[in-house]
Structure 1
Amino acid sequence: METISTAPSALRSWASVAAITASLFVFVTTELMPVGLLTPMSASLSISVGIAGLMVTLYGLSAGLGAPFIVAWAARVDRRRLLSALLVVLVVGNLVTALSPSYPVVLGVRLIMGFANGVFWAIGVSMAMRVVAERHASRAAAIALSGISVATVVGIPLGTFLESLTSWRTTFLIWSALGAVVLLAVATVVPALSSDNAVPVREVFWLPLRNPGLRVVLFAVTLYVLGHFGAYTFVRPFLEENSAATPAFIATLLIIYGVGGATGNFVAGYTVTRNPRLSFLVAGIGLVVSLLLLLVLGDSTVGSVLAMGLWGVSFGAANLCQINLVLAAAPDTFEAAMSINTLCYNTAIALGALAGGLFADHVGVTGAVWFGVALMAASLLITLAARRTSPTPEPAPVA
């Protein structure tokens, strides 16, 4: 993979990776913040929790649908400037969300913010790999992806805790200020970066058709993300309904989930280089088992802790595995492949949250969890079937 032509000092290189990781942190927390705030936001805005879930749905939908087009159209834009522009959208969007007078305004703002989020997902990991010496690219990618775990360990639980002390509006206001700090860091330390292996927009959508290995990965990713977010978006109302969990206990469970995510990311960093497909399958099995545990034992403290911990471990591992599999399937068009991956991933977030909302409103929040079980199991079946017909090549490791 191409690195920057004039390598900066080692200190600036890793400072750049840290800034990109922080960007991932604020993007992920902004995307998923409504998960921890779903109940108070729905009450404040006078809507049902199912309708409130559209805050995740529209955000993910615009992130997915816009990424391939915007990444291709911005092929000649310096990536530091592009990332800075994306962070400006994030900062302003969180500020407007905090001040929004009504739910339609919140939805409109998050729709716009979703476009920025999708583009970042497509370029962020590639940027982290390019700002360091080529021999350190894998480590830089793993560090950047750790921003997901930090967001789940610290960001989302912290947002839930801050809301319990203040309000959901104050929480978004604080995240707007945090985004501004990250924007300053990116503008200061990240070097100029031209686009890496850009692909014209008319060719981007042909990649899965021409690449069977990439196509299999995208199918599997879409299914497990559909299932995950169909259930995860409504985990707070599920816990409140089935175990009378307090906001403090829910925040604790989200922290446990996040610590599990960091653990899964760390463990998968070792296993994925040896057998990426098996690592992904094990993570998928863990996702299914964790939701079954939540359904069976979620009414008890120990059961909910075990279920959320395993869920976090499994999801953290699955996320790292799927990035490795995308890189393995399309090493020469990684940025373009990641834009298609972003399309599938974030559209799945949107549709998963939407389907979960329909189950939550018409069947009950338990139905949203069963939806998650079914889709995650389908992802496992797709991956197992592909093993027999068209195995993917061994990946260049990302961790």
Structure 2
Amino acid sequence: MPVQEQERSPSAFKAWLGVAAITASLFVFLTTELMPVGLLTPLSKSLGVSVGVAGLMVTAQGVAAGLGVPFIVAWTRRVNRRLLLSTLLAVLTLGNLITSVSPNYPLILATRLCMGFASGVFWAIGVSMAMRIIPERHASRAAAVVMSGISIATVVGIPLGTIVEAHTNWRTTFAIWAGLSLLVLVAVAAIVPSLPSENAVSVREVFGLPVRNGQLRTVLLIVIFFVLGHFGAYTFVRPYLEDEASATSTFITVVLIIFGVGGAVGNFIAGYTVNRSLRGTFIVGLVGLLAALLLLRGIGDGEAGAVVALVLWGLSFGAVQLSQVNMTLAAAPETFEAAMSLNTMAYNTCIALGALFGGLFVDHVGVTSVIWFGVVLAAASLLLRLSTGWRKDISTSTVSEDDLAPTA
């Protein structure tokens, strides 16, 4: 084994346990962020606020995760990444605990803001940590494993939190998640190896990256279009199915779980294909996403058609999600954490904007309009990627400065 890989992975088994601990970190961060979605009614009643106001718990954390991350990643650029992740998990644990006992809504909202900053930093450093602790040839697979935490959170975490609330109350749900966050903190501290900071970049340099790096600038634009389109449509998939397919709440729950399973499968497949063709994996994923939206519009007025469309949508989303992370790495291998902080800022901000624009279309044009909103923006992302001429299809395992030079 080469000396570099020995340094990266002194024990293959322990290294993959470390990847599992980072994946568990993603699970608790994402479920904490999205948990209020399933608990809005009991939360609003208990705290004496409207459902819309209660929904700001999700918005506040998402906005904080997006806007704060480039600054915090830059300010902590010399901190050991294991220590930084442990600190982020400590913030998450304390935040969930405070939420579970908070006497009023303003304290909860302030707590969610703090947890949002921690969540954003995790998204910037988590994948790169996993890719550093295993042999370099398996870096893409490690990224895929970590990103599978998104699907696990969707399929298992959010429904589990809702079930706990149904049998106890929402405070118990957040108390349990505080305990889970603490367990993950212990696992990270015990299993993940020491990871001295790499790619130290100041705030000014972070925001200067897309100015100097044309490929990264293009990748960020591709991500912005894709995220706006996907979340603009996906946020309103429930009212769409209720209106078009007369879907019941039980059926919608089932197809959303199916979507999550499809995302996990697509993510797993992409873990192997991105090394063979990163560009091809992303393009195929976006084509699949476009096809899924068109299928939903064409045959989604029946339950069978809706299932087919959501399965394809989930598979495609999983592949595109992993590909865009690898595209960011390929565009800025020497400053990956800084580039991912910009990616996180763009991604989280566009989740909020996608939901906002989608809501405006729903209110003023009709619920079917969000499907066309998603189609147009996903197509824009696809066309931008197709029109981009990079010299060779870069894999995450073999990147050089010559590879990154754009063609004329």
TM range (shorter): 0.7 to 0.9
How far the C-alpha of 1:398 sits from its partner, in A, is: 6.7
**Whole-Å Cα distance in 1 between the matches of residues 40 and 149 of structure 2?**
23
Change (3 A) 1:360 1:335: same
How far the C-alpha of 1:219 sits from its partner, in A, is: 0.3
Residues 1:277 and 2:273 aligned together? no
Q: 1:292-312 CA distances to partner (integer Å, 9 max, x unpaired)?
A: 333444443212222221111
How far the C-alpha of 1:203 sits from its partner, in A, is: 0.7
Unaligned residue ranges in structure 1 (runs of 5+)? none
Change (3 A) 1:277 1:221: same
Residue pairs, 1:330-349, within 5 angstroms:
330-349=332-351
**Whole-Å Cα distance in 1 between the matches of residues 69 and 212 of structure 2?**
20
Q: Is the 8 A contact 1:62 1:111 kept in 2?
A: yes
Q: Is the 8 A contact 2:362 2:369 kept in 1?
A: yes
Q: Is the 8 A contact 2:136 2:397 kept in 1?
A: no
The one-letter code matched in structure 1 to 2:255 is L
Q: Is the 8 A contact 1:264 1:313 kept in 2?
A: yes
How far the C-alpha of 1:257 sits from its partner, in A, is: 0.7
Query: Secondary structure at the residue paired with 1:63?
Result: helix
**Whole-Å Cα distance in 1 between the matches of residues 163 and 382 of structure 2?**
35
Residues 1:230 and 2:229 aligned together? no
Change (3 A) 1:15 1:70: same
Which of 1 and 2 has greater Rg?
Answer: 2
Pick the aligned partner of 1:47 from 50, 53, 58.
50
Q: Is the 8 A contact 1:19 1:190 kept in 2?
A: yes
Unaligned residue ranges in structure 2 (runs of 5+)? 399-408
Q: Report the counterpart of residue 116 of structure 1 in structure 2.
A: 118
The one-letter code matched in structure 2 to 1:47 is S
**Whole-Å Cα distance in 1 between the matches of residues 257 and 291 of structure 2?**
20
Pick the aligned partner of 1:77 from 62, 76, 79.
79
Of 90-99 and 66-75, the range deviating more from structure 2: 90-99
Q: Is the 8 A contact 2:279 2:393 kept in 1?
A: no
How far the C-alpha of 1:362 sits from its partner, in A, is: 5.0
Q: Report the counterpart of residue 405 of structure 2 in structure 1.
A: none
Of 272-281 and 306-315, the range deviating more from structure 2: 272-281
Change (3 A) 1:33 1:381: farther
The one-letter code matched in structure 2 to 1:290 is A
How far the C-alpha of 1:211 sits from its partner, in A, is: 1.4
How far the C-alpha of 1:120 sits from its partner, in A, is: 0.5
Q: 1:16-37 CA distances to partner (integer Å, 9 max, x unpaired)?
A: 1111111011122223334445
Q: Report the counterpart of residue 96 of structure 2 in structure 1.
A: 94
How far the C-alpha of 1:354 sits from its partner, in A, is: 2.7
Higher relative contact order (CA 8 A, sep 6+): 1
TM-score (norm 2): 0.85
C-alpha RMSD of matched pairs (Å):
3.0
Q: Report the counterpart of residue 17 of structure 2 in structure 1.
A: 15
Q: Is the 8 A contact 1:291 1:311 kept in 2?
A: yes
Q: Report the counterpart of residue 313 of structure 2 in structure 1.
A: 311
Q: Report the counterpart of residue 404 of structure 2 in structure 1.
A: none
Q: Report the counterpart of residue 216 of structure 2 in structure 1.
A: 214
Query: Secondary structure at the residue paired with 2:336?
Result: helix
Change (3 A) 1:278 1:133: closer
The one-letter code matched in structure 2 to 1:319 is Q
The one-letter code matched in structure 1 to 2:79 is V
How far the C-alpha of 1:288 sits from its partner, in A, is: 2.4
Change (3 A) 1:265 1:102: same
Q: How many residues align?
A: 395
